[in-house]
């Protein structure tokens, strides 16, 4: 017997399902957002799907499609896996379409036929951008189309080695009655592309819009459906962009690729540490260098702090590139354990260059930068600091310290302030050419850097 149809009502804002129409969505609070949809009631029966044992043939690493753009390949885990779905999100104008066009040009340069389906731009507009980027290839096929079924038909006809869709929010499935960009349309369109990728081993990359809070627009399930999620980060006032991996079924997460925006497009940055420290001020209080780990890559960043007196009761705490809650916690640790007075001071924290650091190893850099600004004492410019700070004021160990140490040595730093427990775990000879200063508490940090 055919499956029965059941009417449901789905919120276009958050995807909440209800069996009856409501004027206001009970989940997100939007008014008049529930639209009627038909839901199939599936009847179970005898399955014709084959099952396989865990052990056996077919478990080899798939042959990846290497793009030749090393920073992009790094975030993808070494290249594009056949049949994979990649989702790239980022603010408008950040460079998503530019990166995709350069990716297609790199693949076309390897004699791969690629298809670029755009629901936002005409073929003429894409050609104008390609001309500006000096991209010319007959292997790049363009289609101004936003029907998923039509794009799938084109893919079956031209048989490309790679498909790019710009953007998933402009696509619509002819089987769904709601408008493009709605929760239902985004989910169904993505589902059809996933089915195409897995059925034909065609790698597909989707561009996604982001909301005001920085998350990809559409249902949250969209990020669960794809294999890899990349976020393009950066400030329009900065010349470089950071491509960050937040999900990857075929590689490490939290990997980053760094690009510099130029008139000719996005250029790879082979030495991000040197870029982030290029404009670092010398002999200025409130500045210190901290070695961070982004995925598998060590990067040196400058931590800046400004501590200035404010009117009583109106002190501000602002963090750019770091967690504001963590800044408040570290400020409380300094007041409690060191005895400094900060409640009547404005505190501004910035990770120079626009990059965001979320790891606990940043704590010691924040502490040192705050104290340097408060005491108006300069930290030796050849010193780097790294470590987690606990609520008792203790300096706790962080991972991958030897990678951080090698990066600091490579850029010519002479002193490394690190947790004592981490210094004991270093291999013999690892600290050649650099002085290790182990510390156990914030009291020792003050004594080593600011007393005397």
Residues placed in the known binding site: 90-97
Shortest CA distance to 126 belongs to which of 158, 155, 166?
A: 166
Could you tell me the end-to-end alpha-carbon distance of the chain, in angstroms, rounded to an integer? 87
Beta-bridge mates of residue 389 = 395
Binding-site residues from annotation for ATP: 90-97
**C-alpha distances in Å from residue 104, one per residue of 96, 114, 263, 354:** 12, 7, 18, 28
Encoded tokens for 5: 């149809």
Helix, strand or coil for residue 129? Answer: helix
Structural contact between residues 148 and 189, judged by C-beta atoms closer than 8 angstroms: yes
Beta-bridge mates of residue 114 = 140, 162
**Cα dihedral 279→284→289→294 (10° resolution):** -50
Structural contact between residues 389 and 367, judged by C-beta atoms closer than 8 angstroms: yes
Beta-bridge mates of residue 257 = 243
State the Cα–Cα distance between residues 19 and 372, nearest whole angstrom. Answer: 60
Structural contact between residues 230 and 87, judged by C-beta atoms closer than 8 angstroms: yes
Q: What sections of 173-299 are H helices per DSSP? A: 183-200, 221-225, 272-276
Encoded tokens for 430: 């690892």
State the Cα–Cα distance between residues 21 and 331, nearest whole angstrom. Answer: 50
Helix, strand or coil for residue 239? Answer: coil
Query: Which of left, alpha, beta for 412 (phi over 0: left; psi -120 to 50: alpha)?
Result: left
């Amino acid at each position: 017997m055919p499956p029965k149809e059941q009417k449901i009502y789905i919120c276009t804002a958050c995807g909440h399902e209800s069996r009856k129409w409501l004027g206001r969505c009970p989940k997100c609070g939007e008014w008049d957002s529930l639209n009627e949809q038909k839901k199939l009631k599936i009847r179970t029966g005898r399955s014709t799907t084959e099952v396989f044992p865990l052990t056996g043939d077919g478990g080899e690493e798939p042959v990846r499609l290497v793009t030749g753009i090393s920073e992009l390949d790094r975030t993808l885990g070494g290249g594009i896996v056949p049949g994979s779905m990649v989702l790239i999100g980022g603010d408008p104008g950040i460079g998503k379409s530019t990166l995709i066009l350069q990716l297609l040009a790199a693949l076309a340069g390897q004699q791969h036929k690629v298809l670029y389906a755009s629901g936002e731009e005409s073929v003429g507009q894409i050609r104008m951008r390609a001309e500006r980027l000096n991209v010319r290839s007959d292997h790049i096929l363009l289609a101004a189309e936003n029907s998923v079924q039509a794009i799938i038909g084109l893919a079956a006809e031209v048989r490309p080695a790679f498909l790019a869709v710009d953007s998933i929010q402009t696509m619509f499935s002819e089987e769904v009655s709601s408008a493009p960009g709605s929760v239902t349309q985004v989910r169904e369109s993505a589902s059809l592309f996933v089915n195409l990728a897995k059925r034909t081993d065609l790698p597909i990359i989707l561009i996604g819009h982001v909301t005001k809070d920085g998350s990809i627009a559409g249902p949250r399930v969209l990020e669960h459906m794809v294999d890899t999620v990349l976020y393009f980060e950066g400030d329009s006032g900065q010349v470089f962009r950071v491509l960050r991996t937040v999900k990857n079924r075929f590689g490490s997460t939290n990997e980053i690729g760094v690009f510099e925006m130029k008139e000719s497009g996005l250029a790879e940055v082979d030495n991000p540490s040197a870029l982030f420290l290029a404009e670092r001020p010398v002999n200025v209080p409130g500045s210190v260098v901290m070695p961070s780990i982004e995925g598998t890559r060590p990067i040196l960043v400058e931590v800046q702090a400004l501590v200035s007196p404010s009117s009583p009761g109106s002190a501000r705490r602002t963090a750019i590139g770091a967690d504001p809650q963590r800044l408040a916690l570290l400020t409380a640790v300094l007041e409690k354990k060191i005895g400094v007075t900060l409640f009547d001071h404005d505190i501004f924290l910035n990770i120079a260059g626009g990059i965001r650091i979320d790891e606990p190893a940043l704590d010691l850099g924040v502490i040192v930068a705050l104290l340097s600004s408060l005491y108006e004492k300069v930290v030796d410019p050849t010193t780097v600091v790294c470590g987690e700070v606990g609520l008792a004021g203790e300096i706790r160990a962080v991972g991958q310290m030897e990678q951080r140490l090698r990066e600091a040595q490579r850029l010519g730093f002479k002193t490394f302030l690190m947790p004592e427990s981490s210094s004991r775990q270093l291999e013999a000879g690892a600290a050649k050419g650099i002085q290790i200063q182990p510390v156990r508490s914030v009291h020792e940090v003050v004594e080593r850097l600011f007393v005397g």
